[in-house]
Structure 1
Amino acid sequence: MADRSLRGMRLGSQSLQSEEGVTFSPRVTSTYQQADGTTFEVTFAADAEVPQVWESPKSGQEGILLAADGKLTVLEESDAKVPRTHWDMLLERRTRGELEELLNDRLDVLRARKGQQKVGA
């Protein structure tokens, strides 16, 4: 028969391990301010590079890092990454002429397949 002391405990609800002897890594808390003036905090490892922009976990809006004196940090142009689109990535691998040829080939296949389908089905 099962031990009665475990009967009241729910499976997976509590860890049986303690934090005794565990050393946590050093952390820093950074504050970000959204365009509407709302602030939120994010905790990073002390040795991590803290980004100047972070998305709020509650609102989804971007916040700009506040300096220790409470002023907004200035965004550097070199740090801002311009997002690449799928089209940009395609143009890195193929020329526009190659892409047009591939498109025409696929369109021909689709047109041929459509021509084989029964009309009115």
Structure 2
Amino acid sequence: MAERALRGMSLGSRSMESDAGVEFADRITVHYDCEDCGHVTEVTMFAEAEVPLVWECQCGKEAVLREHERPEPTKPVKPQRTHWDMLLERRTMDDLQVLLDERLELLRAGKLRRRSA
């Protein structure tokens, strides 16, 4: 083994750098209160950062910045369209039934192969 080897050191788990001479950015601690469960969430942020009015609570609901009111929703949330929704925009249920019957007939006649999943 080489004489330069670092023996007895768990490389990768600890840094060899020190914090000497490092100036940390100014920080603030903001508090969010969850109206539903009463949790208080503390978040440390950069002092010049724009502080959001809402933060996700540990219970999964929204917590509001302390001493502020819950902001009004900007616009209604549109539900995500599924493949089925998009298919129904292009075809009627009668059209889909005809296509299904045709494909089942071809499959039963042996003219189509089943795809394995």
Q: Which residue of 2 aligns with 1:76?
A: 71
Residues 112 and 36 (structure 1), Cα distance of their counterparts in 2 relative to 1, 3 Å cut: same
4+ long deviations beyond 4 Å: 111-114
Q: Which residue of 2 aligns with 1:33?
A: 33
In structure 2, runs of 5+ residues without a counterpart are: 82-87
State the superposition RMSD in angstroms: 3.7
SS in 2 for 1:85: coil
TM-score under structure 2 normalisation? 0.61
Q: Which residue of 1 aligns with 2:53?
A: 52
How many residues get paired? 102
Q: Which residue of 1 aligns with 2:7?
A: 7
Mean CA deviation greater in 4-13 or 30-39: 4-13
SS in 1 for 2:30: strand
Larger radius of gyration: 2
Q: Which residue of 2 aligns with 1:117?
A: 113
In structure 1, runs of 5+ residues without a counterpart are: 68-72, 88-96
Q: Give aligned-pair identity as a percent.
A: 36
TM-score under structure 1 normalisation? 0.60
Superposed CA deviations along residues 47-94 of structure 1, whole A, max 9, x for unmatched, are: 2211111113x4333211103xxxxx112326x56444333xxxxxxx
Among residues 72, 79, 84, which one is paired with 1:85 in the alignment?
Answer: 79
